[in-house]
Amino acid sequence: MQINRLPALSDNYIFLLHDPELKIAAVVDPAEADPVLQRLTELEATLVAIFNTHHHSDHVGGNAKLLRRFPEAIVYGGAEDRGRIPGQKMFLQEGDRVSFGDREADVLFVPGHTSGHIAYYFPSAQAGESGDLFCGDTLFAGGCGRLFEGTPTQMVDSLSKLRLLPDNTRVWCAHEYTLKNLQFALTVDNQNSDLQGRFQDVTHLRQQLKSTVPSVLGVEKKTNPFLRWDQPALQLATKSQEPVQTFARLRGMKDRF
């Protein structure tokens, strides 16, 4: 399975999954249709599936136009998003599996950013290879999504679930927010040498207008404050040792950053 990263809107990423042998493709969170249609033409591939993580318009905005071009494509989304995702035909819950080509993904229910948010995790196809996590707006490189519909408790539970995945998992998050996320992270975890080094690397990448996505989950565990609520430095910054309260205070600080 080849993964094409397509920039969209101002800072979104669309991910096009391609099976060159079968000449089929699937798309994750098409913010708009035109970049997807252009790449499908270049690849001479047929779109067979749309994998939506949640209902926000910058994740489903391309669904309708893509379905007009590929009416047989199946739209997947969370069961809790029924009626909110254009063209949705499959209503997924925790523990379900979806397939694309010769790969299968586990469906993870990860509410917090929205009440119906899901993620798709494709385990590694062979020993030693990296798995792929398509997490929408739940986990970002260096950050996490705002809590628009969910609670801090839900988000901690969701991020805890993602934190259990293998360290070499590639994190395909849906926005290029990394530099600002790390700028905030340094305000609450400034003695973290891994974070300091990552900030320098990301600054260099963005100066060259290069993408910081995908990230790697092991790096996130060392540098992303929203996966580190149980670390003393973050507890000190938030004046709390209770996990949900620590996370909630971090999220509030980031919202005001």
Active-site residues, by number, are 54, 56, 58-59, 113, 137, 175
- Structure-token match 């609450």, residue found: 188
For helices 193-207 and 178-188, angle between their N-to-C axes, nearest 10 degrees: 150
Query: Whose CA is closest to 198, among 248, 235, 143?
Result: 143
